[in-house]
Amino acid sequence: MTVRTYLGIAPRIGTRAYVDPSAAVIGRVTIGEDASIWPCAVLRGDVHEIHVGARTSIQDGSVLHVTHDSGYAPGGRACIVGADVTVGHRVVLHACTVGNFCLIGMGSVVLDDVIIEDRVILGAGSLVSPGKKLESGGLYVGTPARRVRDLKEQEIAFLSYSAAHYVKLKNDYLV
């Protein structure tokens, strides 16, 4: 089953959102309108909340998870992904916050308490270690990820284009 409850809490799926039948969306997960969750993605909101913004795409094989309440993480940590974000294939987002109009490159890993501000590109295969902050308007790459330069106007425009492209593509799947 693709979308399922955990301890009686069911995911909330926005209008015209697409969740592929091979994805798993479990528990305290909110998916915004026109968002898309692609094959084999896992969003497991069992011990805290996951929020995926409007028009955001979570690509194939990506995993979104959270951190539970404990002495090591009082209150636990949610996983929050803003609007108009493209999360590439096989990305791990764990108890972090991603702003609006971002692109998270394929195979990247973003760990607990990371904040990625609006309009950031994180290059493929990057690792963002716990507690880091990626500031708006930058291209970050590497393991560990570091800012290599400011985004160019064309790259900033691409962020909106990419989000809109996946809205169009998921609409084909909803037919």
pLDDT tens digit string along 65-102? 999 999 999 999 999 999 999 999 999 999 999 999 99
Residue 5 phi, psi (nearest 5): -80, 160
Amino acid making up residue 18: Y
- pLDDT at residue 1 is higher than 80: no
pLDDT in the model for residue 95: 98
Distance of CA 54 to the CA centre of its chain: 11
Return the H-helix or E-strand segment holding 156. helix 153-174
* Phi/psi-derived region of residue 34, left when phi > 0, alpha when psi is between -120 and 50, beta in every other case: left
77 CB contacts (<8 Å, ≥6 apart)?
48, 66, 67, 95, 96, 112, 113
**Is the entire prediction scored with pTM above 0.95?**
yes
The pLDDT tens digits for 96-144 are 999 999 999 999 999 999 999 999 999 999 999 999 999 999 999 999 9
Query: Which CATH number applies to 3-174: 2.160.10.10, 3.40.50.970, 3.10.450.40, 3.40.630.10?
Result: 2.160.10.10
> Mean pLDDT, to the nearest integer, of 62-66?
98
CA distance 14 to 33: 4
Give which of 61, 54, 136, 133 is closest to 96, Cα–Cα: 133
- pLDDT at residue 175 is higher than 90: no
Give which of 160, 48, 50 is closest to 37, Cα–Cα: 50
